[in-house]
Amino acid sequence: MAKHLLPKFRIAIAGAGAIGLYYGGKLAHFGRDVHFLLRRDYEVVGKRGLRIRSKSENIQVAKVNAWRSTEEIGPCDLVLVAVKTTSNQDLPSLIAPLLGEKTILLTLQNGLGNEEFLAQHFGAERVAGGLCYICLSRVDPGVVQRFDHGRLTIGEFQSYPRPRLHDIAWEFKRCGVVCSVVADLALERWRKLVWNIPFNGLTITAGSLDTSAILANDPLRQLALELMEETIAIANACGHPLPTAVALDLLKRTESMGAYRPSSLIDHLARRPLEIEAIWGEPLRRARAAGIEAPRLEELYGKLVTLDQAPRR
């Protein structure tokens, strides 16, 4: 496939938040044929283009292939699914016009259950998943701020990595994205949840604090560690072996991130729906199915559901 990942290899970005804009922008900057589904920001990005800012790079994509609908984009070879999981119900109608005979669906969404959802509607053989270990924020329409270098990890949904996945990873690397292929995608999803469950949640329930404030508060730091340990226990019970040392390693990495505001906190402050079911609800349901008690996760889930519903009441 690698020899075909050139201008004729069509890539669609379904979801133009920070993740979709960043990875799509990197590919477009290096000359790949990338098409963005842009509804809310269509006019602005059409005029100003797309920009990625950080301490080490300043990328400007002046001419963006922006479209208001996936019908206008048409069939593509690769679809990066970057919509919030709260919009998953829209994916069947959004993705259908993008499908060709061998279209690959690579979901970059948070949490659990997204590959299963896509497989249910479009077939498991099309589906792969990616985990974005990166700190990004969409600061303006078409403008993404990157706070650290980060990396992208991709894997097949229901098989060992096929050549197609290595080709996609190589193409990301050629476009300046650190990307690796993993044999066990589900294990890596749980590894990321060890961080996402405590820090995406506690930054909200503790009163809109950033990660450095969580770590500076001894009771909150301890609670974050306990949530990490619960998540590791659930992963192991579900057949995804994670060592307990993962928690301490992630705490150290969080200390180096500074005053970071996770995406869930940003959504909460903007009064957008939270990705509660994918990040907290589904892991909790799997804990119950495996007979594992997770009292801290259950309490956190309940608080988040209450907070998420309050503005709409």
Share of the chain above pLDDT 90, in %: 81
Flag whether pLDDT at 312 surpasses 70.
no
The answer to whether residue 7 scores a pLDDT higher than 90 is no
Fold of 187-309: N-(1-d-carboxylethyl)-l-norvaline Dehydrogenase; domain 2 (1.10.1040)
Q: Is 116 left (phi over 0), alpha (psi -120 to 50) or beta?
A: alpha
Taking the C-alpha atoms of residue 79 and residue 238, their distance in angstroms, rounded to an integer, is 29
Domains 2-183 and 187-309 share a fold: no
Q: pLDDT tens for residues 227-241?
A: 999 999 999 999 999
In which band, very low, low, confident or very high, does the pLDDT at 76 lie, cut at 50, 70 and 90?
very high
Rounded mean pLDDT, 176-195: 96
Residues labelled catalytic: 192
In tens, the pLDDT along 82-136 reads 999 999 999 999 999 999 999 999 999 999 999 999 999 999 999 999 999 888 8
Cα–Cα separations (whole angstroms), residue 266 to 24, 109, 272, 300: 21, 16, 9, 18
Predicted structure pTM score: 0.92
Compute the average pLDDT of residues 191-214.
97
Query: Can you say whether the dihedral through the CA atoms of 153, 203, 82, 302 is positive or negative?
Result: positive
Domain boundaries, the chain: 2-183, 187-309
Fold entry, domain 2-183: Rossmann fold (3.40.50)
Would the pLDDT of 1 be above 80? no
Mean pLDDT of 9-38: 94
